[in-house]
Structure 1
Amino acid sequence: MFINITDSKEAANKGSSTGLVNYLEKENRINNKPEPEYWFNGQKIRIEPYEVMRSIDNNVAKLGKDDAKFFLVNISPSQKEIRFLKEQYGEDGAKEQMKGFAVRVMDAYARNFNRDGVNNNEDLLWFAKLENYRYYNYKDPEVKQGLKQRGERKEGEQMHVQVIVSRRDITNKIKLSPMNTSRGKNAEHSKKMGQFDRVAFKQSGESLFDSLFEFDRQLKDTMAYANVQKNGELSQREQLGVLLEGASQNYESRSVANEMARGVADGLFTTTAGMLSAAGKTAASFLEVMLEPMYTGGANIVSESEIEEKKRRKKKSRGQQISR
């Protein structure tokens, strides 16, 4: 699950939302279907583009010309996650589930500010659009190498949701910026802007998906694992190696390992021993698996039941040969 908040330069968000709304209407223009893909939010499922533009552009009280007026949130499940949804709910059902999931993500977005009066998606002014495809642009290596053309549709499962959310809350009174990185360190600044932890917000999307859809996420598919592999220290990668071994055993150990990996990514453990010790009783079953001596030559081991079955077949075979 990839969730990203586009910065002001890419979103061109210091003026009207018209350009972005028109851009996100591209699939309706290209596909030219009788029934377009409507905008939606937590209250309505059929919202016209002009309603989106009018609402966002009018919700800018006390914002200067150089201030961001809105932000773009990209909610992109992996191809594995999309296939899972389609297997569970079918093509159309997967789309509806993704729309419902987007509402829950915006609940998490609101809560992440830790502001009084901003508790869920209903306290925000936001509009979302489900898109079924992605297209190559000039930045893609395939285009640079001449293998694909700009504007050509990308292969594979590409369903995702784009969200335009106003800088101001639904009352047009509270200023909210997800680009604030204080995380509460500057109390006065956080009081005005809200203390937004973008890493925690991105992580919440992954956790939400797993809990809502009972998705059995592999440790290597977690955001924490990717972050450690890309930016982590050697000790953190060693800790993940231990978790990987335990996570391969069963669903329960995998679930615990995923949770502990987030702590590894946050740098909570200085050593592997410290990581296992900090897990405590909640990870008891996982630790039992980890600390159990494993016999690697098990391919040649035959269970007692298999031995008895072989003896029974031999006796039967001998009896048949005698009767002949």
Structure 2
Amino acid sequence: MYISITKQHMDTTFSQSSGDFVDYLEKENRDKVPEQQEHFFDQHNDQVSAKHIVKDIDGNTAKLRKNEPKFYSLTISPSQRELKHIGNDPAKLRQYVRETMKDYASSFYRDKPVSVDSIKYYAKIEYERTYKGFDREIKENQPFRSQIVKLEHDLAKIRSGELEGNSQAIQKTIEQLKAEAPHHVDGQMVVQGMKKQGLQTHVHIIVSRKDVTNTLSLSPGSSHKASEVILNGSLVKRGFERDQFFEKAEKTFDKLFKYERNFVESYTAHKMYNKEPYKFFAHLMALPTNEKSAAFKMMGKSGMHVPNLNIPTNQVQLALKAFKQLKRTIDVAKNASSIGI
């Protein structure tokens, strides 16, 4: 399970209104008849109009300055393994989102508990993802793509008479470069904008910065960590407990759908990998045989070579010989969201 929290864009991409972002989330509904469209939903309603959402979010910004985000965006991206476990069922995803937003609300560090009904949010399920410039596949195909683009320009000039050359030879070279590129989908070289294979279902959530009363500011931003300060002579709790939220959201999925989570899928593993990678490696190698085998299998789905399990048993020797290779494998898998850590 991968969950991200980002603040409203304040640059030229998105205006201070939520309109552009809500319109962006309607992209999969374009060219679809109403019966096939996926609707926004909230904690209690399965169908909310985009027009209502923009009006509701934009009208809930009391006392926020122009340079402050008016809303936050959460993206919930279950792994393909998790999606397969729930049958890629949108009803179950909506159920999970509603339970997870309870976890979100309870993770605000306040003197009085924040409930989900204090949160103004709207969610939308999407079923497709396309390759972006930051994806590993695009980056690794880029040298081939650059050569192809240059050759295609030359080919166009030859055909228009601006340049002399053998167009057939150039076309053959282009096809060869496409075949030699490391990443393909259905025999086609992976390029930006191409749809990703497999289950890609995920959920976008737009959350107002202010609570439903438009008086309390609720920021989950990384700069608003849980803390206590003296305000007007009193000790006041403030901030958001991110680790607590991510851990709760993971446990909610497991409990709700009786999901048996492998170590490498866990948020604990994610933190350990980032902060104490050798400890992560040692823990991985100490897993029971079946669980360890499953962990390596999940990482292997990233398309990278998985370290040979028939390596020395001495932990120090093992770590020195295999850790760098394993770390590369995990980096690739994590970037591809294939193991959900």
Residue of structure 1 in register with 2:195 after alignment: 153
Residue of structure 2 in register with 1:260 after alignment: none
Gaps of 5+ in 1: 250-324
Residue of structure 2 in register with 1:130 after alignment: 125
Deviation at residue 198 of structure 1 after TM alignment: 1.6
Distance in 1 between residues matched to 2:133 and 2:283, nearest whole Å = 39
The answer to whether the Cα contact below 8 Å between 1:129 and 1:162 also exists between their aligned partners in 2 is yes
Give deviations 1:20-62, integer Å, cap 9, x for gaps: 1000000001545533211001121110100111100000000
Deviation at residue 7 of structure 1 after TM alignment: 3.8
Distance in 1 between residues matched to 2:273 and 2:290, nearest whole Å = 17
CA 1:211 to 1:247, structure 2 compared with 1: closer, same or farther past 3 Å?
A: farther
Q: Which amino acid aligns with 1:96?
A: A
- The alignment partner of 2:207 has SS state of strand
Structure with larger RCO (C-alpha < 8 A, sep 6+): 2
Distance in 2 between residues matched to 1:30 and 1:140, nearest whole Å = 27
- The sequence identity of aligned pairs, in percent, is 30
Residue of structure 1 in register with 2:278 after alignment: 234
Give deviations 1:230-265, integer Å, cap 9, x for gaps: 3315346435544x238849xxxxxxxxxxxxxxxx
Q: Which amino acid aligns with 1:124?
A: I
The answer to whether the Cα contact below 8 Å between 1:13 and 1:68 also exists between their aligned partners in 2 is no
Cα root mean square deviation, aligned:
2.8
Gaps of 5+ in 2: 146-188, 293-341
TM-score by length of 2: 0.64
The answer to whether the Cα contact below 8 Å between 1:14 and 1:69 also exists between their aligned partners in 2 is no
Q: Give yes or no for the alignment of 1:47 onto 2:48.
A: yes
Deviation at residue 223 of structure 1 after TM alignment: 2.0
The answer to whether the Cα contact below 8 Å between 1:2 and 1:77 also exists between their aligned partners in 2 is yes
The answer to whether the Cα contact below 8 Å between 1:74 and 1:160 also exists between their aligned partners in 2 is yes
Deviation at residue 143 of structure 1 after TM alignment: 3.2
Give deviations 1:172-222, integer Å, cap 9, x for gaps: 010011015454434248987832122221222111100111101111221
The answer to whether the Cα contact below 8 Å between 2:9 and 2:69 also exists between their aligned partners in 1 is no
Q: Give yes or no for the alignment of 1:26 onto 2:15.
A: no
Q: Which shows bigger deviation, 13-22 or 191-200? A: 191-200
- The number of aligned residues is 242
1:170 to 212, 230, 245: 212
Distance in 1 between residues matched to 2:69 and 2:261, nearest whole Å = 36
The answer to whether the Cα contact below 8 Å between 1:76 and 1:161 also exists between their aligned partners in 2 is yes
- The alignment partner of 1:176 has SS state of coil
CA 1:109 to 1:198, structure 2 compared with 1: closer, same or farther past 3 Å?
A: same
- The alignment partner of 1:74 has SS state of strand
Equivalent residue runs for 1:74-223 within 5 Å: 74-86=75-87, 94-116=89-111, 118-144=113-139, 145=141, 146=145, 147-181=189-223, 183-188=225-230, 194-223=238-267
Distance in 1 between residues matched to 2:26 and 2:229, nearest whole Å = 40
TM-score by length of 1: 0.67
CA 1:175 to 1:103, structure 2 compared with 1: closer, same or farther past 3 Å?
A: same
Deviation at residue 135 of structure 1 after TM alignment: 1.4
Deviation at residue 225 of structure 1 after TM alignment: 1.6
CA 1:160 to 1:175, structure 2 compared with 1: closer, same or farther past 3 Å?
A: same
Distance in 2 between residues matched to 1:235 and 1:151, nearest whole Å = 38
Q: Return the index of the structure with the highest Cα Rg.
A: 1
